[in-house]
């Protein structure tokens, strides 16, 4: 049973893959998805292991297993690839009603981690005599495809966030670890430096050792440190010094009078015993007697003979000595030994130097000892010598050794080697009695790197790598400050993509993400602004133009416009996406960051409401119009909420010029807003805003119903040939329910479908030809006619006409103005009309105002004319008075 967990053979699971999946959550998501969509699903890892359980009952599972072969499953998984490539794969199956799809789950760097295998039964394809258990759910191909699209989005969102988080988490853990290590090292050196100072102390021996033991104990956090001495008779043991963290942990009194043989560690060897070390009987007894859990015992030799023991023990808690601990304890032993030797032998210089050297070599950081008076370096350890630095950098560093004050910490950046060092200075007496400076040098580059990385992450937008809004706010403050101080100028450009939601909804978030990344990259390539581009959220980008670049502001804006004038490459297809921009200058438009961004926003909105794809500079009138816009927006919303009654439909006659008497053959429905507060508003003043706010759907529906109702009335009252044209905006076409809405209008008004013409622009076709064709075809299947509006403007191309199911081409007004005089306009209209004839389409020319133009068009194979020459758009009463009776 291959839908169940694999047994044997493939049980070797890929650790990474397994960790990547959170099976519980995925199972829940999968079960809900299957139930809601009448599908079956299971998740398979890239190594063919099964990640989730089959959603559905045993009967359903065993039935589906009769349709799905193991080969299909492995072929499906192997069809996905790590690099680019499909995220959804439709597998051919052996039966017409069994549908099998794979949806890829991708990890970091697009790596293929596994896939959902989705199984469905197409109810429309099941033959009558086929046996399917009753429990098995069925669906349709269309529903399956919709569900798959949803699953793709869900998967993407879920796993993208997840891998992003995982990377961040890993980084944080690594950074914390590194910081802990650094902290530990620093602390250790501090203690060691402190202890080294005792070496030259003139205090009595016991006093010095006392200090050392207490420093050691406090640093290690252990319970007891003691120095035991063997009497010259080599029999009894004496306590020299003792330190304990609490009164109860002092054991000196108890060992009084004990013999060397009573101490199991007094063998002349070193013992470092952790709590989990298995120790011989004598140690066990000794530990038990004093409540010791673990300890380090080190012999101290003078002239080749063990005279003392350094004991460091832990009493209340368990401990495992780390390598660092042991190294430290050994250093302490050496210090004690040196002091002892120095006191014992009068000529201590040589031995003390070698002891010191061995300690300094082991501190783990770079050490340099400086004779300040002679300004020379007395000693450096190997770590210091091996620091990777250029000679010049080393020279600069060593200059610092002489300059700085004691007890100071300082950072040093070796630019060429790209390394950061932390220096600390302290003074001490050198072995020969000279006063010297001890400099310790740490390589803190790693810590720095992590710090920078964290800062970077807090300041950047993960999708595009641009700085984010947080960083913008900081930089903007700084920029305003410098601009005002220098008396110069700087600027802010706010860029918003036009109709980005269409791409996101229509092509999926993945395409949207790619577009945003492409935009970010292109913006950064513009000279002079590569470092001041920000993604302020969603599809909004902000550019700060520095004081020094202000004379290039126009050039920069021009370059940005150029970027958006060519199509974007998404999924190997070209998509057009324009932008609108608002511009403010500092200090002219203000010196407060919040105010400036608000004003840039106002300018941006002006650009949007003037029809998008343009740049607007802020001015105070806009401010008023921004207030107006807010009013307009409020009224528009209210008008829609109140049921669109304020929107009146006007009709402009369409004239049939193929007949000698040039009769009216119908009308284009054009909306006007008769607002009690705003007055009579023309479509150019509110349609872009209505599209932007999504209100166009309601308004458009209202116009469609009104126009169809009117046309049906004309058809019933003497003009069965009249047709009505209704404009559909791209926003409406993008909606999945547009077909339902149109069907409702046909049913509600009973209009003859062939008398309705829907006018569309190419807006959607440029970016999603497939979808445009699909929607138009469905419209045509209902018997409705389609007109391509405003032809010749925007992105129109002759290719589009050929590949779209169109009945009428409406040539834009701008070609009519000079018709008869302008060679280009003439040639354009002529060639389009020829093409139209060849493709069996009709031509309608808009905006004819003069007899002369009409005459010129007479020679050009045009079918219909619309323009002020015949009539302006008329209110319904006027239209019917003139053209109906």
Residues at the site binding ligand C2E, with contacts judged by CB under 6 A: 652, 670-671, 682-684, 687, 696, 700, 703, 727, 729, 789-790, 813, 846-849, 866-868, 873
The entry of Ca ion, ligand C2E, none that residue 245 binds, CB within 5 to 8 Å by partner kind: none
Nearer to Ca ion, 422 or 790 (CB): 790
Q: Write down the least CB distance from residue 866 to ligand C2E, Å.
A: 6
Yes or no: say if 490 and 544 are a contact pair by the CB < 8 Å rule. yes
Q: Write down the least CB distance from residue 653 to Ca ion, Å.
A: 14
Q: Write down the least CB distance from residue 643 to ligand C2E, Å.
A: 16
Nearer to ligand C2E, 224 or 796 (CB): 796
Q: Write down the least CB distance from residue 868 to ligand C2E, Å.
A: 4
Nearer to ligand C2E, 279 or 678 (CB): 678
- CA 596-601-604 angle, 5° bins: 130
Q: Write down the least CB distance from residue 813 to ligand C2E, Å.
A: 6
Q: Write down the least CB distance from residue 638 to Ca ion, Å.
A: 26
**Phi, psi at 591, each rounded to 5°:** -130, 15
Which residue do the tokens 């299909």 mark? 72
Nearer to ligand C2E, 230 or 707 (CB): 707
Residues sharing a CB contact under 8 Å with residue 619, sequence separation 6 or more, in sequence order: none
Candidates 756, 704, 711; CA nearest to 732 is: 704
From residue 770 to residue 789, the character string flagging contacts with Ca ion as x (rule: CB under 5 A) and all else as - is -------------------x
Q: What is the DSSP string of 484-507?
A: HHHT--EEEEEEEETTHHHHHHHH
- Measured CA to CA, the distance from residue 883 to residue 718 in angstroms comes to 11
- Measured CA to CA, the distance from residue 514 to residue 84 in angstroms comes to 13
Nearer to ligand C2E, 44 or 758 (CB): 758
Nearer to ligand C2E, 541 or 651 (CB): 651
Q: Write down the least CB distance from residue 710 to ligand C2E, Å.
A: 13
Q: Write down the least CB distance from residue 653 to ligand C2E, Å.
A: 10
Q: Write down the least CB distance from residue 842 to ligand C2E, Å.
A: 16
Nearer to ligand C2E, 295 or 873 (CB): 873
Among 443, 656, 768, 790, binds Ca ion (CB under 5 A): 790
The entry of Ca ion, ligand C2E, none that residue 847 binds, CB within 5 to 8 Å by partner kind: ligand C2E
Q: Which of residues 688-747 bind Ca ion (CB under 5 A)?
A: 727
Candidates 174, 172, 178, 163; CA nearest to 454 is: 172
The entry of Ca ion, ligand C2E, none that residue 700 binds, CB within 5 to 8 Å by partner kind: ligand C2E
Q: Write down the least CB distance from residue 22 to ligand C2E, Å.
A: 46
- Measured CA to CA, the distance from residue 439 to residue 425 in angstroms comes to 5
Candidates 397, 422, 396, 419; CA nearest to 409 is: 422
The entry of ligand C2E, Ca ion, none that residue 670 binds, CB within 5 to 8 Å by partner kind: ligand C2E
User: Binding to Ca ion by residue 759, rule CB under 5 A?
Assistant: yes
The entry of Ca ion, ligand C2E, none that residue 545 binds, CB within 5 to 8 Å by partner kind: none
Candidates 446, 434, 418, 422; CA nearest to 189 is: 422
CA dihedral 519, 521, 526, 530 (to 10 degrees): 120
The entry of ligand C2E, Ca ion, none that residue 461 binds, CB within 5 to 8 Å by partner kind: none
The entry of ligand C2E, Ca ion, none that residue 729 binds, CB within 5 to 8 Å by partner kind: ligand C2E
Candidates 219, 193, 221, 201; CA nearest to 359 is: 193
The entry of Ca ion, ligand C2E, none that residue 680 binds, CB within 5 to 8 Å by partner kind: none
- Measured CA to CA, the distance from residue 255 to residue 263 in angstroms comes to 10
- Measured CA to CA, the distance from residue 508 to residue 723 in angstroms comes to 38
Q: Partners of 238 in the beta sheet?
A: 229
User: Binding to Ca ion by residue 762, rule CB under 5 A?
Assistant: no
Candidates 310, 304, 343; CA nearest to 328 is: 310
Q: Write down the least CB distance from residue 672 to ligand C2E, Å.
A: 7
- Measured CA to CA, the distance from residue 809 to residue 829 in angstroms comes to 11
Q: What is the DSSP string of 209-223?
A: HHHHHHHHHHHHT-S
Nearer to ligand C2E, 356 or 848 (CB): 848
Nearer to ligand C2E, 317 or 682 (CB): 682
Residue 9: how many CA atoms within 13 Å on its side-chain side?
8
| H helix or E strand, kind and range, residue 366 | strand 366-371
Stretch that binds Ca ion, among 24-32, 493-501, 502-510, 752-760 (CB under 5 A): 752-760
The entry of ligand C2E, Ca ion, none that residue 683 binds, CB within 5 to 8 Å by partner kind: ligand C2E
SS3 274: coil
Q: Write down the least CB distance from residue 840 to ligand C2E, Å.
A: 23
Yes or no: say if 690 and 734 are a contact pair by the CB < 8 Å rule. no
CA gyration radius, the chain:
42
- Measured CA to CA, the distance from residue 86 to residue 102 in angstroms comes to 10
Nearer to Ca ion, 118 or 724 (CB): 724
> How many residues sit close enough to Ca ion to count as binding (CB under 5 A)?
4
Q: Write down the least CB distance from residue 769 to ligand C2E, Å.
A: 21
The entry of ligand C2E, Ca ion, none that residue 687 binds, CB within 5 to 8 Å by partner kind: ligand C2E
Q: Which of residues 616-675 bind Ca ion (CB under 5 A)?
A: none
- Measured CA to CA, the distance from residue 723 to residue 752 in angstroms comes to 9
| H helix or E strand, kind and range, residue 875 | strand 874-875
Q: Write down the least CB distance from residue 634 to ligand C2E, Å.
A: 21
Nearer to ligand C2E, 440 or 729 (CB): 729
Across 657-798, where does the E strand assignment appear?
664-675, 679-681, 723-727, 756-760, 785-791
- Measured CA to CA, the distance from residue 832 to residue 269 in angstroms comes to 103
3-state secondary structure 739-774: HHHHHHHHHHHCCCHHHEEEEECCHHHHHCHHHHHH
Nearer to ligand C2E, 591 or 682 (CB): 682
Nearer to ligand C2E, 560 or 671 (CB): 671
Stretch that binds Ca ion, among 285-293, 402-410, 534-542, 757-765 (CB under 5 A): 757-765
Nearer to Ca ion, 328 or 722 (CB): 722
* Site for Ca ion, rule CB under 5 A: 727, 759, 789-790
């Amino acid at each position: 049973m291959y839908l169940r967990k694999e047994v044997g053979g493939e049980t070797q699971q890929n650790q990474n893959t397994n960790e990547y999946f959170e099976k519980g959550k995925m199972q829940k998501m999968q079960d809900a998805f299957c139930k809601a969509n009448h599908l079956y699903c299971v998740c398979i890892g890239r190594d063919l292991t099964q990640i989730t359980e089959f959603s559905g009952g045993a009967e359903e599972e065993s039935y589906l297993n009769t349709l799905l072969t193991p080969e299909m499953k492995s072929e499906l998984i192997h069809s996905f690839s790590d690099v680019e490539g499909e995220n959804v794969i439709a597998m051919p199956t052996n039966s017409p009603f069994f549908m099998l799809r794979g949806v890829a789950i991708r990890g970091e760097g697009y790596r293929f981690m596994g896939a959902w295998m989705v199984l469905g039964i197409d109810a429309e394809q099941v033959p009558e005599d086929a046996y399917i258990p009753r429990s098995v759910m069925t669906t349709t191909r269309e529903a399956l495809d919709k569900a798959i699209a949803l699953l793709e989005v869900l998967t993407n969102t879920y796993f993208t966030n997840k891998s992003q988080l995982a990377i961040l988490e890993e980084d944080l853990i690594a950074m914390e670890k590194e910081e802990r290590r650094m902290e530990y090292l620093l602390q250790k050196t501090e203690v060691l430096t402190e202890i080294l100072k005792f070496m030259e102390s003139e205090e009595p021996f016991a006093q010095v050792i006392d200090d050392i033991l207490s420093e050691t104990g406090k640093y290690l956090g252990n319970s007891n440190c003691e120095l035991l001495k063997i009497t010259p008779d080599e029999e009894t043991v004496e306590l020299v010094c003792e330190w304990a963290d609490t009164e109860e942990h002092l054991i000196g009194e108890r060992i009084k009078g004990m013999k060397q043989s009573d101490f199991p560690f007094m063998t002349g060897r070193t013992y470092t015993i952790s709590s989990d070390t298995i120790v011989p009987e004598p140690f066990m007894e000794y530990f038990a007697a004093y409540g010791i859990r673990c300890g380090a015992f080190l012999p101290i030799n003078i002239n080749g003979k063990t005279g003392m023991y350094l004991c460091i023990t832990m009493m209340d808690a368990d401990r495992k000595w780390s390598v660092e601990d042991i190294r430290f304890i050994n250093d302490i032993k050496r210090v004690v030994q040196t002091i002892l030797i120095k006191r014992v032998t009068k000529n201590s210089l040589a031995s003390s130097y070698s002891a010191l050297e061995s300690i300094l070599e082991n501190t783990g950081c770079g050490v340099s000892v400086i004779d300040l008076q002679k300004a020379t370096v007395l000693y450096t350890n190997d770590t210091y010598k091996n620091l990777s630095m250029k000679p010049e950098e080393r020279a600069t560093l060593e200059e610092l050794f002489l300059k700085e004050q004691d007890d100071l910490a300082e950072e040093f950046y070796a630019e060429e080697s790209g390394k950061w060092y932390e220096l600390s200075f302290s003074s001490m007496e050198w072995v020969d009695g000279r006063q010297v400076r001890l400099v310790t040098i740490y390589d803190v580059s790693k810590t720095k790197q992590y710090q920078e990385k964290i800062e970077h992450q807090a300041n950047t937008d993960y999708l595009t790598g641009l700085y984010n809004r947080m960083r913008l706010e900081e930089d903007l403050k700084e920029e305003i400050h410098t601009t005002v101080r220098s008396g110069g100028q700087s600027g802010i450009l706010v860029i918003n993509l036009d109709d980005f939601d269409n791409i996101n909804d229509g092509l999926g978030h993945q395409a949207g993400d790619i577009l945003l990344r492409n935009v970010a990259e292109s913006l950064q390539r513009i000279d002079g602004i590569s470092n001041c581009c920000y993604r302020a959220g969603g599809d909004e980008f902000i550019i700060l133009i520095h004081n020094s670049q202000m004379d290039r502001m126009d050039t920069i804006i021009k370059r940005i416009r150029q970027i958006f004038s060519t199509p974007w490459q998404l999924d190997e297809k070209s998509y057009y996406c324009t932008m609108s921009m608002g511009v403010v200058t500092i200090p002219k438009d203000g010196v407060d960051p919040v105010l400036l961004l608000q004003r840039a926003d106002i300018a941006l909105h002006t650009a949007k409401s003037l029809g998008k794809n343009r740049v607007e500079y802020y001015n105070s009138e806009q401010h008023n119009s921004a207030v107006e816009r807010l009013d307009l927006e409020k009224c528009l919303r209210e008008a829609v909420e109140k049921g669109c009654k304020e929107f009146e439909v006007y009709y402009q006659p369409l004239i049939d010029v193929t007949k000698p008497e040039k009769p009216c053959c119908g009308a284009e429905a054009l909306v006007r807003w008769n607002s009690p507060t705003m007055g009579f508003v023309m479509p150019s003043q509110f349609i872009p805003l209505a599209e932007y706010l999504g209100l166009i759907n309601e308004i458009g529906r209202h116009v469609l119903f009104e126009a169809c109702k009117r046309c049906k009335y004309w058809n019933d009252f003497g003009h069965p040939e009249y047709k009505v044209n209704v404009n559909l905006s791209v926003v409406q076409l993008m909606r999945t329910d547009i077909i339902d809405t149109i069907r409702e209008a046909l049913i509600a008004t009973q209009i003859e479908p062939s008398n309705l013409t829907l006018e569309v622009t190419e807006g959607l076709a440029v970016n999603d030809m497939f979808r445009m064709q699909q929607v138009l075809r469905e419209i045509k299947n209902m018997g409705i006619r389609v007109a391509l509006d405003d032809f010749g403007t925007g992105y129109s191309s002759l290719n589009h006409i050929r590949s779209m199911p169109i009945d009428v081409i409406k040539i834009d007004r701008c070609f009519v103005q000079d018709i008869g005089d302008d060679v280009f306009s003439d040639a354009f209209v002529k060639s389009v009309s020829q093409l139209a004839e060849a493709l069996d389409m009709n031509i309608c020319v808009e905006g004819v105002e003069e007899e002369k133009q009409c005459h010129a068009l007479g020679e050009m194979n045009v079918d219909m004319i619309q323009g002020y020459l015949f009539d302006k758009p008329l209110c319904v009463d006027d239209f019917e008075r003139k053209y109906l009776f």
